[in-house]
Amino acid sequence: MKDEFSFIKSIIPNHIQQQSLRIGIGDDAAVYESDSSVDQVVCVDTMVEGIHFRKDTMEPVQIGRKALAINISDLAAMGATPRFYLTTIAVPPTWTEDHLREIYRGMSELGKQFKMDLIGGDTVSIEQSLVITVTAIGTVASGSAIKRTSARKDDIVFVTGPIGGSAAGFDLLNERTKDGHFSSNELSYVKMHQEPMPQVELGELFSQSNQRMSLNDISDGLSSEIFEIAVASNVQVILNKAHIVKLSPQLDVSLEKRVKWSLNGGEDFQLVGTTSAEQYEVLQKQAKAIGFSLFPVGVVREGKPAVFLDDGDKELPLEMGGYNHFKRG
Ligand SMILES: Nc1ncnc2c1ncn2[C@@H]1O[C@H](COP(=O)(O)OP(=O)(O)O)[C@@H](O)[C@H]1O
Ligand SMILES: Cc1ncc(C[n+]2csc(CCOP(=O)(O)OP(=O)(O)O)c2C)c(N)n1
Ligand SMILES: [Mg+2]
Ligand SMILES: [Mg+2]
Ligand SMILES: [Mg+2]
| pLDDT on residue 319 | 79
Task: Measure 134 CA to ligand 5 centroid, in angstroms.
Answer: 15
C-alpha 1/C-alpha 99 separation (Å) is 10
Say yes or no: 283 and 306 in one domain.
Answer: yes
Residues 135 and 160 occupy one common structural domain:
no
- What residues flank ligand 1, with Cβ below 6 Å? 45, 74, 219
Pocket of ligand 2 (CB under 6 A): 45, 51-54, 57, 70, 170, 219-220, 266-267, 323, 325
Quick one: 57 and 35 in the same domain? Answer: yes
> Given a cut of 70, is residue 329 above it in pLDDT?
no
Contact 271, 218 (CB under 8 A): yes
250 Cα: distance to centroid of ligand 1 (angstroms): 32
- Per-residue pLDDT of 89-121, as tens digits, reads 999 999 999 999 999 999 999 999 999 999 999
Binding residues for substrate: 52, 267, 323
Q: Looking at the domain assignment, is residue 287 inside a domain?
A: yes
Query: Considering the chain, what percentage of its residues have pLDDT values greater than 70?
Result: 100
Residues whose beta carbons lie less than 5 angstroms from ion ligand 3: 45
Domain range holding 89?
A: 4-141
Asked if the model's pLDDT at residue 1 lies above 90, the reply is no
pTM (global) more than 0.95: yes
CA 328 to each of CA 28, 190, 318, 321: distance values in angstroms, whole numbers, following the listed order: 39, 22, 18, 10
Domain boundary among 100, 118, 141: 141
Q: Looking at residue 85, which CATH number applies to its domain?
A: 3.30.1330.10
Q: How far apart are CA 207 and CA 51, in angstroms?
A: 33
* Proximal ligand: closest to the CA of 266: 2
CA separation for the pair 263, 311 (Å, rounded)? 14
Tell me, yes or no, whether 230 and 154 share the same domain: yes
Domain boundary among the residues 121, 141, 161 is at 141
Residues 6+ apart with CB under 8 A from 269: 69, 70, 73, 166, 196, 197, 198, 199, 217, 218, 219
Q: Is it the case that residue 328 has pLDDT exceeding 90?
A: no
Q: What pLDDT is stored for residue 201 in this prediction? A: 98
Whether 49 maps to a domain, the answer reads yes
Neighbours of 48 (CB within 10 A): 15
Identify whether 327 is part of a domain: no
Mean pLDDT rounded to a whole number for the chain: 96
At 185, which CATH number? 3.90.650.10
Q: Which of 115, 141, 167 finishes a domain?
A: 141
* Largest pairwise CA distance in the chain: 64
What is the position in ligand 2's atom list of the atom closest to the CA of 220?
Answer: 11
Same domain, 177 and 251: yes
Q: Whose CA is nearest to atom 15 of ligand 1?
A: 45
pLDDT in tens, 171-185: 999 999 999 999 999
Point out the annotated binding site.
28, 45, 52, 74, 104, 121-122, 148, 217, 219-220, 267, 323
- The total of structural domains in the chain comes to 2
Could you tell me the distance, in angstroms and rounded to a whole number, from the CA of residue 315 to the centre of ligand 1? 31
Mean pLDDT value of segment 116-145: 97
Note whether residue 178 is domain-resident.
yes
Helix (H, G, I), strand (E, B) or coil at 186: helix
The Å distance, Cα 185 to ligand 4 centre, comes to: 28
pLDDT one-digit tens code per residue, 259-310: 999 999 999 999 999 999 999 999 999 999 999 999 999 999 999 999 999 9
Q: What is the pLDDT of residues 182-211, one digit of tens each?
A: 999 999 999 999 999 999 999 999 999 999
Which residue among 71, 72, 74 is best mutated to probe the pocket of ligand 1, counting the most ligand atoms within 8 A of its Cβ?
74
Do 284 and 276 meet the contact criterion of CB atoms below 8 Å apart? no
